[in-house]
Amino acid sequence: MFGATLSRWTMSYFAAALAFLVIGETMMVLGYGYPAAAMEAPETLALVHTIALGWLSLLMAGALLQFVPVLVGRPLCCTHLALPALVLLVAGIAGLVLGFVGLSGSIDLPPIVLPVAAVLTIAGFALIGFAFAATLWRARPLPLTARFVVIGLGALVVTVLLGGTYAFVLGGVAGADAAIALTLEGVSLHAVLGLGGWLTFTTMGVSYRLLTMFMLSPDGERRSSRIVWLSGSGALGLVAGGIPLILAGSVGRFALLLLAAFLGVLAVVVYASDIFRIYRERRRREIELNIRASIGAFGALAAAMVLFVGLLVTGRIEQGIGSLVYLVAFGWLTGMGLAQLYKIIPFMTWLECYGPALGRTATPRVQDLVVEMRALRWFRAFYASVLIATLGLSVGAEPLFRLASLCQLVAILVLVLEFTRARRLSNVPASLRLPTGAQRPHLFLPSFQLWRQP
C-alpha cells in the first residue's frame, strides 16, 4: 500500500497545485483569456500555463512522489530534491504566467522575465524528474504501470524543452530560424505532448494500479493493457517525430500526425474497455466516493475522444479545439485529480496522524475523516459545470461559459474545504480525534518527525 513510505512533500505540492487551480478558475470567471481573447493571445497563454503547469503538473509531480515507489515496490531516490524542485517550479510557473501577462501589456515587465522563468521551471522539472527516473532505473525490470510513467516523463522532457524554446523566442533572447520555426508551427505538438503524454498517459498508468487496489479487482498485466501502452507510446513517439519534420520543412507531417491520432484513439478505446472491466470484476461492491467521482472523469475522456474524431472527420478541428482542450483539461484530468485527492489526502493524513498509535490504542477509520454524502453533491456540481462550460465554448456563448466557470469555482472551493477538514481531523468524533500517541499533522507542510525520515 502506498502509505508504506509516506512522502514528505506531496501535501505541499497538492496545496500549491490547488492554489493555482483556484487562480485559473478565477481568471476564467473574470473573462481573462480564451474565449474572451484569441487562442494564441498572451492572456490565453497565461491562463493555459496556470492550469497546465500550476495545477495539473504540480498535482502530478506531488502524486508521483507518493506513487512511483508504490508502482515499483522500492523507496524513492533523492528525496531531498523534492523541496528545491517545488520552490523552483512555483517560482518558474508564477514567472511564466506573469511574463505572458506582461506580453499582453496589462503590466510593465521586461521580456527577459519569460526566459528566466522558463529556466527556473525546467530546472524544477529536471530535479523532480531525476528523482523519478533514478528510482525507475534502479527498479528494472519495470512493471507495465511503471512503463506508462517512463513514457510520460519522456513526453515531459520534450514538452518543457519546446516550451523553453518558445519562451526564449518570445523573450527576444533566441532568434535562430529553427527556434522561430518551432515557435510558429510546433505549439500544437507542445500541447499534445503535455496534455496527452505527460498528464494523460501517466494518469492512465497510475489509474491501472490505483483502481484495482481501491476496488480489489484482479491486478495482473493483460494483453489489452499492453496494447494501450504500445499504441499510446507509438502515438506520442510519432507526435515527437513531428519536431524534426518542422525543422526540415514539414514534409510528411500531416500523414505522421494522422497515424498518431489513430493510435491515440485506439489507446483510449482499449483503455476505456479495461476500466470498464476493472469496475465489473471488482470484489468490493460498495465503492468509495473517489471511485464514483472518477466515473465522471472517464466519461469526459470518452466524450473528448468522440469529439476529437468528429472534429477530425468533419475538418473542423480548428473551430472545436477550445472545447476539446477544455474537456480534456477539466473534465478528464481535473475531475480525476479532484476525485483521487478525496482519497489520497485523508489516507495520507490518517497514516501521518494515527500511524504511530496503531496497535496501542483505538483509532478512527480513514472513512471517519470524510463525509462522502456532503462532498458528493459538489462533485456532481463540478461535472455539471464542466458540461455546461463545454457547451458554452462549443456554441460561442461566452456569458454561459463564465457562469459555468463560476459554479465550477464554487464547487472546487467547497471541495478544497473538504480536503482541509479532512486534514484538520474536523470530521472525526472528538473522543477518537487524538488518542495517546497520535500526532496532529500540519496543514500542508511535513511534520518534524517526517522531515527526519530517510
Write out pLDDT tens, residues 118-172.
999 999 999 999 999 999 999 999 999 999 999 999 999 999 999 999 999 999 8
By the 10 Å C-beta count (0-12 exposed, 13-18 middle, 19+ buried), 280 is classed as exposed
In a domain, 330, yes or no: yes
> Crossing angle for the helix pair 398-423 and 335-354, nearest 10 degrees?
10
- CA angle in degrees (0–180, nearest 5) for 30-38-97: 60
Q: Which three cell numbers stand for residue 317?
A: 478541428
204: amino acid identity, one letter: M
3 state DSSP class of 157: helix
State the total domains in the chain.
1
In a domain, 308, yes or no: yes
> Crossing angle for the helix pair 317-326 and 372-394, nearest 10 degrees?
170
3 state DSSP class of 160: helix
Q: What confidence tens digit (pLDDT) does each residue in 74-95 have?
A: 999 999 999 999 999 999 999 9
- The C-alpha atoms of residue 274 and residue 414 are separated, in whole angstroms, by 32
Average per-residue pLDDT in the chain? Answer: 93
What is the per-residue pLDDT for 445?
A: 86
Q: Cell match 479532512: residue?
A: 422
Per-residue pLDDT band at 448 (split at 50, 70, 90): low
Q: Which of 175-189, 281-295, 383-397, 437-451 is modeled with the greatest confidence? A: 383-397
- The C-alpha atoms of residue 325 and residue 14 are separated, in whole angstroms, by 23
Q: Which three cell numbers stand for residue 372?
A: 462522502
In a domain, 380, yes or no: yes
In a domain, 53, yes or no: no
Q: What confidence tens digit (pLDDT) does each residue in 12-22 have?
A: 999 999 999 99
- The C-alpha atoms of residue 285 and residue 64 are separated, in whole angstroms, by 28
In a domain, 302, yes or no: yes
- The C-alpha atoms of residue 315 and residue 308 are separated, in whole angstroms, by 10
Per-residue pLDDT band at 47 (split at 50, 70, 90): very high
* Contact by Cβ (8 Å): 9, 82: yes
In a domain, 304, yes or no: yes
Q: Cell match 515531459: residue?
A: 156
The Cα-based distances of 314 to 189, 317, 319, 377, 385 in angstroms read 21, 8, 11, 37, 27
In a domain, 35, yes or no: no
What is the per-residue pLDDT for 4?
A: 52
Q: Which domain holds residue 330?
A: 290-354+363-426
In a domain, 404, yes or no: yes
- The C-alpha atoms of residue 383 and residue 84 are separated, in whole angstroms, by 35
pTM of the model: 0.95
